[in-house]
Amino acid sequence: MSEMLKYFRENRLPHIWCPGCGHGTITGALVRAITKLKLDKNRIVVVSGIGCSSRAPGYLDFDTLHTTHGRALAFATGIKLSRPDLKVIVMTGDGDSTAIGGNHFIHAARRNIDITTIVMNNDIYGMTSGQYSPMTPTGMFGTTAPYGNVERPFDLAKLAIASGATYVGRATSYHAQLLEELMEKALLNKGFSVIEAVSQCPTYFGRKNKLGSAVDMLNWYKERAVNVKAAAVMAPEKLEGKFLIGELFNQPAPEYTASYDALVDGVRRKFDTFQGGVRECAQNSD
């Protein structure tokens, strides 16, 4: 515990999240993963957008950046390109990363830039009082879906994989141990990693959908989540209404900043050779 505390800004606590919110559990899992990996806190940058989830970096004692709505990955990309030696982590929400930030999300994945992205998915815009998001399941309620959401939600993991992410996992705040293990692997992956951390929002999503207390919501996750390894041997009808957790994708590919640096080095070498040739010609003609 004391080892973990060094990663927190204790003077910023207690946090502002509602009692029973899942975001604290997810932030705790990330800090435990960082502690286990013994990462140097002076070489970690945590970037967030806007929303309840995006308040998390404010409590963490790294170099942190609380940016504009949906733009965490754009800021993080700039940081990683200028300082590829740093460990860059993005903490974002379902609304922040898949609505206004959706384009940044797919392109960061396509580039396979070495950023670990934690998407705290509570199926709703919590901070602005419960509007439905692109990840609200069909038929569920929000303040802007008073008769039920008619849209189909993104499957974030599939979106990330199809866009080019090289490490993708999912767990819930009920499965905190698994969450921590997935985060550890995501932090070690040299490329774009996405962890969908399903998180209860009893205040809005829970209340609007009559899901009960935070504990009831955790049980709701427990009943619906199936580990991908167990699912592999289950009949498709047994998986109806369930969602998969665990390591969903792990396939290395060239990382963007490494490829970019190699390109710059190659161009510089060619330019130096050319300059050398020009100088030689000039001396010969003297």
Judged by beta carbon distances under 5 to 8 A according to partner kind, the member of ligand SF4, Mg ion, none in contact with residue 164 is none
Is 110 in contact with 163 (CB distance < 8 Å)? Answer: yes
**Nearest distance in Å: CB 23, ligand SF4:** 6
Is 137 in contact with 123 (CB distance < 8 Å)? Answer: yes
Among 44, 47, 52, 171, binds ligand SF4 (CB under 6 A): 52
Longest distance between any two alpha carbons in the chain, whole Å:
88
Is 115 in contact with 108 (CB distance < 8 Å)? Answer: yes
Which one-letter amino acid corresponds to residue 54? S
Residue 214 three-state SS = helix
- Kindly state whether residue 31 participates in binding ligand SF4, applying the rule CB under 6 A: no
Residue closer to ligand SF4, measured from CB, 79 or 211: 211
Among 35, 92, 117, 122, binds ligand SF4 (CB under 6 A): 122
- Kindly state whether residue 122 participates in binding Mg ion, applying the rule CB under 5 A: yes
Piece of the chain touching ligand SF4 by CB under 6 A; list 13-21, 57-65, 140-148, 277-285: 13-21
Pull the structure tokens for residue 1: 């515990």
- Kindly state whether residue 142 participates in binding ligand SF4, applying the rule CB under 6 A: no
Is 200 in contact with 123 (CB distance < 8 Å)? Answer: no
d(CA 237, CA 268): 58
- Kindly state whether residue 94 participates in binding Mg ion, applying the rule CB under 5 A: yes
Beta bridge partners of 89: 46, 116
**Nearest distance in Å: CB 45, Mg ion:** 23
DSSP state of 270: H
- Kindly state whether residue 93 participates in binding Mg ion, applying the rule CB under 5 A: yes
Residue closer to Mg ion, measured from CB, 93 or 169: 93
Cis peptide before 137 (omega within 30 of 0): no
**Nearest distance in Å: CB 203, ligand SF4:** 4
| Binding residues vs Mg ion (CB under 5 A) | 93-95, 122
Binding residues for ligand SF4, rule: CB under 6 A, are 17-18, 21, 23, 52, 122, 126-127, 201-204
